[in-house]
Amino acid sequence: MNLVQRVQDILLRPKATWPVIDAEPADAASLYKNYVMILALIPAVASFIGLSVVGLGAFGVNFRVPIVSGLANMIVGYVLSLVMVFVLALIIDAMAPTFEGSKSQVSALKLSAYSSTAAFVGGIFSLLPSLSVLGAVAALYGIYLLYLGLPVLMKCPVDKAIAYTAVVVVCAIVGGFVIAWVLALLTPSPARVGLGFAGEAVAVVQQLAAAKA
């Protein structure tokens, strides 16, 4: 699988790409190694650069998160984003019978991983904290990707896909805010108030779950 081509395909041609993904042999290790672990670096590294190198500024005052705290934030955020993809896959799989779909752990993980693409790629906006909200907006496209993928990978009726998507979205939002809170604890107090906290929270939600959320 060509990583760049797959990213382009799932973002630009999702209807044609989901059946291709459904037919591909895959397992958790290959999905993480060849896709999730690579793309999840984008928001993690971009957020570190934005918060610790570029800094947050308002009213003529610029604040940078100390390098050590920024690195801790990046590592923990990266790990938690990987966990979030897996947890959402478990939720997608568990909820499949409720929406007349078929349970499949591999298909659920494919869906969770590939529908996260918009959020991961949108994380590049975190290079400039003032633009991180654009990444969150871009991540909303992941909802559409999820909606298109559910009938294909989880075999649910098309008319059940909206409700199915809504349940996954709610779970992603809750998970995103929990992770934002955890990362806020790692950031020096000046960045946890006002503009600093807002920029960090948006960056975290955008990289994880907003996409699905």
| pTM, full prediction | 0.80
Task: Give the pair of three-digit tokens for residue 25.
Answer: 């042999």
Per residue in 126-164, pLDDT (tens digit) is: 888 778 788 888 888 999 999 999 999 999 999 999 999
Work out the angle at residue 194's Cα, subtended by the Cα atoms of residues 189 and 199, and round it to the nearest 5 degrees: 90
For 38-54, b/e burial (b = at least 16 CB within 10 A) is ebbebbbbbbbebbbeb
For residue 206, what pLDDT is reported?
46
Please state, in angstroms and rounded to a whole number, the distance separating the CA atoms of residues 142 and 114. Answer: 9
- Which parts of the chain sit beneath pLDDT 70? 57-62, 183, 186-213
For residue 98, what pLDDT is reported?
94
For residue 132, what pLDDT is reported?
78
For residue 133, what pLDDT is reported?
82
For residue 124, what pLDDT is reported?
92
Nearest to 81 by CA among 213, 212, 204: 204
Per residue in 116-134, pLDDT (tens digit) is: 999 999 999 988 877 878 8
